[in-house]
């Protein structure tokens, strides 16, 4: 298998692979273009974002600055909104449902590194997908870690570090993020 296939299947892969480096470079250039487009040119910004992301619906708004690794692994639903400084490390699929609102300074990180230092130092890494349901509000400064699913109709409190799945219809917060109450 090639390194891209390994990456997308959750296997160890070499991120320094030339194909992956070129794909990231292409995405970084588009992110730079997006982040430097005048804010009043929202239509142009959305055209660029549609070039970056793997799938969008009609209505979305992502405030600059925005960064991701590949872009093609990100899918956003209808009425998606992200405040400033969204970072998505999309070495695996990152899927957002409809009516998702994300506060400022949030990160969704599919990339992970082996615990064994010899393997980690060899440059190998792996990635696990992230899924966010419909009608989810993610507060500011939240980190969502590899392999996590957040259910429908959830609120994730500001400053949370989400390391485990969050069920539907809850408010969850903390480090590590835990269910606080049912909605």
Residues classed as catalytic: 113
Instruction: Identify the DSSP state of 100.
Output: -
Helix (H, G, I), strand (E, B) or coil at 46: helix
Cα 59 off chain centre by: 18
Q: Locate 115 and state its tokens.
A: 């615990």
Give Rg (Cα) of the chain: 16
Pairing assessment for the beta strands 111-112 and 124-127 based on DSSP bridges: antiparallel
Burial 5-30 (b: 16+ CB within 10 A, else e): ebbbebebbebebeebeebbeebeeb
- CA-to-CA distance for 168 and 174, rounded, in angstroms? 17
Cα 53 off chain centre by: 11
């Amino acid at each position: 298998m090639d390194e891209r296939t390994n990456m997308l299947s959750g296997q160890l892969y070499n991120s320094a692979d030339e194909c992956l480096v070129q794909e990231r470079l292409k995405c970084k250039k588009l992110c730079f273009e997006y982040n430097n487009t005048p804010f009043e040119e929202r239509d142009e910004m959305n055209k660029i974002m549609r070039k970056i992301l793997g799938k969008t619906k009609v209505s979305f708004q992502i405030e600059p600055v925005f960064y991701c690794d590949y872009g093609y692994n990100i899918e956003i639903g209808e009425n998606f909104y992200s405040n400033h400084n969204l970072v998505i490390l999309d070495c695996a699929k990152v899927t957002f449902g409809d009516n998702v609102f994300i506060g400022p300074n949030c990160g969704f990180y599919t990339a992970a590194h082996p615990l064994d230092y010899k393997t980690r130092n060899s440059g190998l890494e792996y990635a696990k997908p992230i899924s966010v349901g419909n009608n989810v509000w993610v507060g500011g400064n939240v980190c969502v870690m590899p392999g996590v699913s957040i259910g429908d109709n959830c609120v994730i409190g500001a400053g949370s570090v989400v390391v485990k799945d969050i069920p539907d219809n809850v408010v969850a917060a903390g480090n590590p993020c835990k269910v606080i109450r049912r909605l």
